[in-house]
Amino acid sequence: MGIRILRASAHDIRFPTSLTLDGSDAMNRAPDYSAAYVILETDHPDQLAGHGLTFTIGRGTELCVEAIKLLADHVVGRTLEDIAADMAGFWRSLVADSQLRWLGPEKGVVHLATAALVNAVWDLYAKVEGKPLWKLLADMSPEKLVACIDFRYIDDVLGPAEATEILERKLTGRRQREEEMLRDGFPAYTTSAGWLGYSDEKIRKLAGEAMAQGFTHLKLKVGADPASDLRRARILRQAIGPKRHLMLDANQVWGVDEAISSVRALAEVNPWWIEEPTSPDDVLGHHRIRESIRPIGVATGEHVQNRVIFKQLFQAEAIDFCQIDSCRLGGVNEILAVLLMASKFEVPVCPHAGGVGLCEYVQHLAIFDYIGVSGSLENRTCEYVDHLHEHFVEPVHLRNGRYLAPLAAGYSAEIKPASRVRFAYPAGAAWAEHRMPEGTEVGT
């Protein structure tokens, strides 16, 4: 624990996913899944390093990389012991750097960069402790977990004392839930069948494969033209039968009124939730949508910028499902704040994943939420997308549509060295292959 962080290096890693329309949705038609990636080198005798990332979708990744370099001043030179002794203070030191705070505060590029660094510190912490992150958290006392949280701006709904009580109430049964996770894993749903760029035939085929793999919850991207949305939704419902759960995801393309009418037009396929029906900033809009489309649930979170917006989504009773994002929120510390608020307001947490490394991250968060905070699997399922796992040292393992609890020490989002080299942007070989030969005219 007395090890010192000697250096931070930040890397721009991009995968040319736009070539296959994997990941396409109504808002993001051609993403290149990317990571702003940080490595914290230490003086640990085994050369343990903390690896962390924030997820991006192509252009602009370099902004997060540069922001990581600026924020790294608050990390480099410190010891893990010192950081772990005051986790909330450490987190505050990142978000309260006043000159950089002006560029947020606690949102956008600087907050994405904060997430990468915080995630890297937790990866290091878990590796040093020799535990997977979920286990590191599950073994912490309520007091120690609460000491990780910066309660600024949320203490009007949740303070340290109540947070401690929530965790203490779930001390009973931690051991059994941990055994259950190791044995059965955490329920997952798949988005892999329903990307907007996929043909009807591909949706049918992939839905069949997903059911064969044990998935009972499948998600479809909507928000294209209404006729196409309905046709595709009917295809998926027909493919999966009446018992399985079908979720819809509009990726923010609608206004509030349009969301209400669009979801009603899709009600015949009996959706379990509509995800991101409108702007992630619109707490009151989500509330109105939710009131207007019952019993269809409202889900959001992958673009919810920080705990302050989540606080209001809970206060306003605006969502049925809380979709925390491991890289949009400021890393594990802020995630803990949201898990505890979700528990208080009895909103199930169904983490957002996919992208690069998000599945690797959120499995830890979902499993810890079950063991230590919520104690329930009711209405809980964690997103799974079947892309890019081959680039990770410790990729996720699914069995029967469930995330098996990871066993390796750390936070699981370490990208293989060869992949980091090959997909480095712009110099990596993967990008050189897609580049025009010198002198090629691209036209105006």
Catalytic residues: 221, 352
Considering the complex, state which of residue 188 and residue 274 has its C-beta at the smaller distance from its own copies: 274
Rank residues 131 and 287 by Cβ distance to its own copies and give the closer one. Answer: 287
Please identify, using beta-carbon distances, which residue of 60 and 130 lies nearer to its own copies: 60
In the bound complex, what is the minimum distance in angstroms from residue 252's beta carbon to its own copies? 7
To its own copies, the closest distance from the beta carbon of 60 in angstroms equals 5
Cβ closest to its own copies, residue 110 vs residue 350? 110
CB of 264 to its own copies, least distance (A): 15
**Angstrom distance (rounded) from CA 2 to CA 25:** 46
Asked if residues 390 and 418 have their Cβ atoms less than 8 Å apart, the reply is: no
Q: What are phi and psi of 336, to 5 degrees?
A: -60, -40
Nearer to its own copies, 253 or 367 (CB): 253
* Four-point Cα dihedral 276, 277, 280, 283, nearest 10: -120
Cβ at position 436, least distance to its own copies in Å:
17
Nearest distance from C-beta of residue 220 to its own copies, angstroms = 19
Dihedral pair phi/psi, residue 41, rounded to 5°: -85, 145
User: Using H for helix, E for strand and C for coil, what is the string for 107-171?
Assistant: CHHHHHHHHHHHHHHHHHHHHHHCCEHHHHHHCCCHHHHHCCCCCCCCCCCCCHHHHHHHHHHCC
The tokens describing 188, both together, are 């997952």
* C-alpha distance from residue 59 to each of 34, 66, 378 (Å): 9, 13, 38
Q: Where do runs of H (alpha helix) occur along 55-107? A: 61-71, 80-85, 87-95, 98-101
Which residue number, 84 or 110, has a Cβ lying nearer to its own copies? Answer: 110
CB of 376 to its own copies, least distance (A): 27
Q: Say how many C-beta atoms besides its own lie within 10 A of residue 325's C-beta.
A: 26
Separation between Cα atoms, residue 422 and residue 431, nearest integer Å: 8
In angstroms, the CA 92 to CA 84 distance is: 13
Q: Quote the least distance from Cβ 5 to its own copies, whole Å.
A: 13
For residue 112, give the amino acid letter.
Answer: L
Of the candidates 200, 346, 348, the one whose C-alpha atom is nearest the C-alpha of residue 272 is 348
Q: What angle do CA 140, 141, 147 make, to 5 degrees?
A: 90
| Residue 253 token pair | 């393309």
Q: Which residues bind its own copies (CB under 8 A)?
A: 27-32, 56-60, 62-64, 66-67, 70, 77, 97-112, 151-156, 252, 255-257, 278-285, 288, 303, 305-306, 308-309, 311-312, 315-316, 444
Burial class (CB in 10 A: 0-12, 13-18, 19+), 47: exposed
| Nearer CB in complex with its own copies: 95/145 | 95
